[in-house]
Structures are given as C-alpha cells and as structure tokens.
C-alpha cells in the first residue's frame, strides 16, 4: 500500500497505538442505533411498473395481514416518477377489500408538483420520490387479510412516467386517548 493510502486509512501502527480504531467506533455506533430503532411499519411494499407505463386496466395489488385492531394506523403511498411525467397530479382509484369481503372504493388526487411545475419530494437524476398520506389515524375493524387494488385514474389508458408505487402501513403518529 502506498504511503498516502496508509496515511488516509490511519494504518500507521504508531498512530493507532493507544487510540481506538475508527472502524470499531463506527461499528459500535451503528449497532447501538439499530438496536434502539424498532421497525415502525406493519407493511412496506413497492411494486415496479414495467417501462414506467401503467395500463389503466392493470391494477396494482397489495395484501396486508392485519393482526392489530386496537392501535391506530396511517396508510401512505410511495410514488416514484420520472421528470417526463406529463402531469402535476395523479388520481388513483383505490378499492379496499376487507377480510369479510366488504369493499370500500376511494378516489384520491395526489399533487406531485406545485403550480410552477417544481416536483415535490426528493429526486436523484430524473427520478422523483415522495410519500403521500392516504388515510391517517384509522383502525382496521377486523383481523385478517386486506387487499388493496390500485388503478390510475388519469384520462390516458397507458400512463407514462410512473416507475413504481408502494404502500406503507404504520402506527399512527397521532396519539389517541
């Protein structure tokens, strides 16, 4: 190894003598952080949309196994799209099927850009990601399998620019009595 690389990595034995190794410190810090963090999501699933072309007649299907009817939950959607997405909004038709077979249909509009066309969320290159709230502070009424069917509700049969969509179900951040 060259001198500069040894110096950069602090591999000089005299330098490390009686001093903690930075890698060990970083590892211990990482472990303590990961042990202190509990997973907050009951469900987090993303589905790719092939070639960023979402056919109106091909819904995305998500399953959620509910084992908790006591705690309040938040349901969010993760949307990833390209800069070539032609709209500032996205309408979704969402059908939720409960374990007993009953269904609930919703139409939601999510804003993806402001009035000037600046995309919301974070972007890397030409891809933008954001999480948007669908339902906040709700309780699932029954234990069992819930199925979410999601169609895009835009006027085009094939919607270009949405690369993937995900659903996140987690404990609500709003505290109830």
pLDDT digits (tens, 9 = 90+) for 35-57: 444 447 789 999 999 999 999 99
CA distance linking residue 168 with residue 39, whole number of Å: 12
pLDDT (tens digit, 9 = 90+) per residue, 77-102?
999 999 999 999 999 999 999 999 99
Q: In degrees rounded to 5, what are phi and psi of residue 165? A: -140, 140
Domain with CATH 2.60.120.260 in the chain: 42-171
Q: Whole-model pTM?
A: 0.74
Of 34, 65, 36, 50, the closest CA to residue 167 belongs to 65
CATH fold, domain 42-171, is Jelly Rolls (2.60.120)
Task: For 136-149, write each residue's pLDDT tens digit.
Answer: 999 999 999 999 99
């Amino acid at each position: 190894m060259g001198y500069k690389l040894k110096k950069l990595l602090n591999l000089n034995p005299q330098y490390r003598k009686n001093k903690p190794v930075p890698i060990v410190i970083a590892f211990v810090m990482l472990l303590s952080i990961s042990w202190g963090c509990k997973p907050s999501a009951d469900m987090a699933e993303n589905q790719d949309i092939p070639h960023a072309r979402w056919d109106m007649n091909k819904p995305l299907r998500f399953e959620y196994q509910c084992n908790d009817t006591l705690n309040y939950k938040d349901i969010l959607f993760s949307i990833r799209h390209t800069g070539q997405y032609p709209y500032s909004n996205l309408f979704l038709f969402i059908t939720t099927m409960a374990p007993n077979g009953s269904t609930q249909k919703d139409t939601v509009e999510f804003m993806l850009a402001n009035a000037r066309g600046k995309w919301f969320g974070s972007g890397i290159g030409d891809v933008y990601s954001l999480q948007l709230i669908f339902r906040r502070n709700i309780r699932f009424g029954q234990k069992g399998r819930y199925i979410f069917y999601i169609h895009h509700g835009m006027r085009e049969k094939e919607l270009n620019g949405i690369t993937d969509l995900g659903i996140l179900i987690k404990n609500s951040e709003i505290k109830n009595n």
